[in-house]
Amino acid sequence: MLKDFDFNETRNPYAGFKRKELGERLARAQRLIKNLNIPVLIIVDGWESSGKGYVIKDLVRELNPKSYKVSVFETPTAEEEARPFLWRFWEKIPSKGNMAIFDRSFYFNLLNDLSIENGELQQGIEDISIIEKQLLDDNVIIIKFFLHQKEKTQQGRIDTLKNDVDKAFMVGERDEEQYKHYADYLEHFDEILEKSDFPFSKWHIVSTEEKKAASEKILGMSIDLIYEGIDRILGQKNGGIRYARNYIPSQKPLEKIDLGLTLTEEEYDKRKDALQLEAQRIAFQLYTKGIPTVLVFEGVDAAGKGGAIERLTREMDPRGYEVITTSAPNELEQQYHYLWRFYRNFPKKGDIKIFDRSWYGRVLVERVEGFATEKEWERAYEEINQMEAQLTKFGTLVIKFFLYIDKEEQLKRFKDRENEPDKVYKLTDEDWRNREKWDEYIDAMNEMLDRTSTPQAPWNIVSGMDKKYARINVLETFIEQATKKLNE
């Protein structure tokens, strides 16, 4: 790509337009995506001193500033280093109808590390392909530009900046490093661009030997690619691409649960206190070793998730954990990819985040109640597995609990809640509506357990028929799996 780039190829189909005119056309495209609720992500990457700031300034000059945001990505901060690789990028993805412009991007670490090992490079590109594909599937228009320049041009721009008292600060170590080792970086960049030139998000290499011409070209291409993306998305929405689901159930995990497991009050009291103190000790060790922990609690309504969480955290330092209660997405959250709100709550190193319901709502309530299309919830299984794999590769301990009770026990607990002043708040009209679709929910739960129990993040299915047994089981499982993680 870069090594074969012809700087002498001067054709520019947008050269006949003034930049202001192109900017106004881009502003019209911006208003259209606003009306259509389509998000756009424009990535501007390239050599240091290649004019990224120049072309971004022209890109946004005529745009409505309320509907775009420019984010600059450089060396990760300490806060960003304490999170999974993609965390800081998910924070900045565009909401529906808005534009996000990335000055540098997901590729920053890969592009700027000449000594990166091949395995790490491949993993980084795979992770990037995942987020780009997930965004594309969520109807985000992705446009990727790489600004290219000759070695001599880079030298001249660095010298010009260094000689300008007001702009000398803009020349950093990366500028000098890239110029000093231009040939090595050219080889390195070329490999990365080749490997990340995905069919669904292609790179567009633009010469910045003449910044004005580069700016014209990027403005014009952005306009064309936005309209091309709109055509693709509207075609899909209008039935241009038919979707056929081919899942064949291989097993029904809920049918294998022994619902007769119980503990006496005496056994429960005897084991509970010691386990809670051990859980406290383990949580402290996770903190001191900087291991981020994600605990997921899913299950049938009234199966005892809240009680299990309360007993698990009873002796833990509340400064080291947070319980995230997941309900229907609010108006802001609905403007983003459904995983956005969960990425924002993932723990930094040493912290514990406990999700009382989670991203699995996509394949449970959103599936059964029709809040997501079949195509949307069908692809969520793979997206969730990919996300959890990224967490575990970062070193996160992921423990998932599914609490199950049968239909008769659920009815009994619903009625008990109706008659207990301290518990009636737990019972809602939605609980009764969900119960009317019991069989549909069980089918969805079985499929979820079957398709998202992975070696790195397996499901722990717990019988909740006896609350005492379930609470002890959760404590013991947390201690066992956390201890294993600590000993790795």
Can you tell me the distance from the alpha carbon of 160 to that of 203, in angstroms, rounded to the nearest whole number?
29
In a shared domain, residues 233 and 257: no
Contact by Cβ (8 Å): 410, 397 = no
Q: What is the pLDDT of residues 45-66, one digit of tens each?
A: 999 999 999 999 999 999 999 9
Q: Are residues 319 and 209 in the same domain?
A: no
Half-sphere exposure of 156 (CA within 13 A, CB side): 9
- Quick check: is 343 in a domain? yes
Among 190, 209, 237, residue at a domain's last position: 237
According to the model, what pLDDT value does residue 240 have?
55
Three-class secondary structure of residue 107 per DSSP: coil
Is residue 203 domain-shared with residue 79, that is, in the same domain? yes
pLDDT reading at 423 higher than 90: no
| Domain assignment of residue 1, yes or no | no
Does 92 share its domain with 196? Answer: yes
Spatial CB neighbours of 207, under 8 Å, sequence gap ≥ 6: 5, 7, 148, 149, 213, 214
Instruction: Give the per-residue pLDDT at 245.
Output: 81
pLDDT at residue 431 tops 80 = no
Q: Over the Cα atoms of the chain, what is R_g?
A: 26
Question: Which residues, at least 6 apart from 108, have a Cβ–Cβ distance to it below 8 Å?
Answer: 45, 73, 74, 75
DSSP string, 402-441: EEE--HHHHHHHHHHHHH-TTTGGG--HHHHHHHHTHHHH
From 71, 108, 77, select the one nearest 90 (Cα to Cα): 71
Cβ atoms 209, 149 nearer than 8 A: yes
For 271, residues 6+ apart whose C-beta sits below 8 A from its C-beta are 263, 472
* Residue where a domain stops, chosen among 205, 237, 269: 237
Q: Do 51 and 85 fall into the same domain? A: yes
pLDDT of 428 over the 80 cut? no
Name the 3-class secondary structure at 286: helix
> Of 237, 272, 304, which residue is a domain's last?
237
Q: What is the pLDDT of residue 12?
A: 83
In this prediction, residues 266-285 reach a mean pLDDT of 97
Quick one: pLDDT at residue 464? 97
> What are the backbone angles phi and psi of residue 164, rounded to the nearest 5°?
-100, 115
Same-domain status, 209 and 351: no
> Binning pLDDT at 50, 70 and 90, where does residue 424 land?
low
Identify whether the C-beta of residue 196 lies closer than 8 Å to the C-beta of residue 186: no
> Could you tell me if 228 and 350 lie in one domain?
no
Determine the Cα–Cα distance for residues 444 and 211; give it in Å rounded to an integer: 55
Q: Quick one: average pLDDT of 254-272?
A: 95
Q: How confident is the model at residue 241 (pLDDT cuts 50, 70, 90)?
A: low
What is residue 456's DSSP assignment? Answer: S
Residues 337 and 396 placed together within one structural domain of the fold: yes
Q: Quick one: pLDDT band at residue 416, thresholds 50, 70, 90?
A: confident
User: Helix or strand or coil: residue 384?
Assistant: helix
Closest CA to 461 of 405, 410, 401, 407: 401
Q: Give the pLDDT score at 485.
A: 98
473 within 8 A of 462, measured Cβ to Cβ: yes
For residue 433, the model assigns a pLDDT of 77
Looking at the fold, whether 279 and 395 belong to one and the same domain comes out as yes
**Length in residues, the chain:** 488
Evaluate whether residue 27 is within a structural domain.
Answer: yes
Statement to judge: residues 200 and 89 lie in one domain: yes
Is the residue at 5 inside a domain?
no
Residue 476 has pLDDT above 70, yes or no: yes
User: Who's near 4: CB < 8 A, 6+ residues apart?
Assistant: none
Span 160-168, average pLDDT: 90
Q: Has residue 246 been placed in a domain?
A: no
Domain encompassing residue 54: 19-237
390 touches 127 (CB < 8 A): yes
Domain count, the chain: 2
Pairing of strands 203-207, 293-299: unpaired
pLDDT of residue 289: 98
Distance CA 93, CA 336 (A): 8
Residue ranges in 98-147 assigned as alpha helix (H): 108-111, 118-137
What CATH number has the domain bearing residue 314?
Answer: 3.40.50.300
First vs last C-alpha separation in the chain: 42
Whether 98 is covered by a domain: the verdict is yes
**208 found inside a domain:** yes
Query: CA-CA distance, 133 to 111, in Å (whole number)?
Result: 20
Q: If pLDDT is split at 50, 70 and 90, which confidence band does 44 have?
A: very high
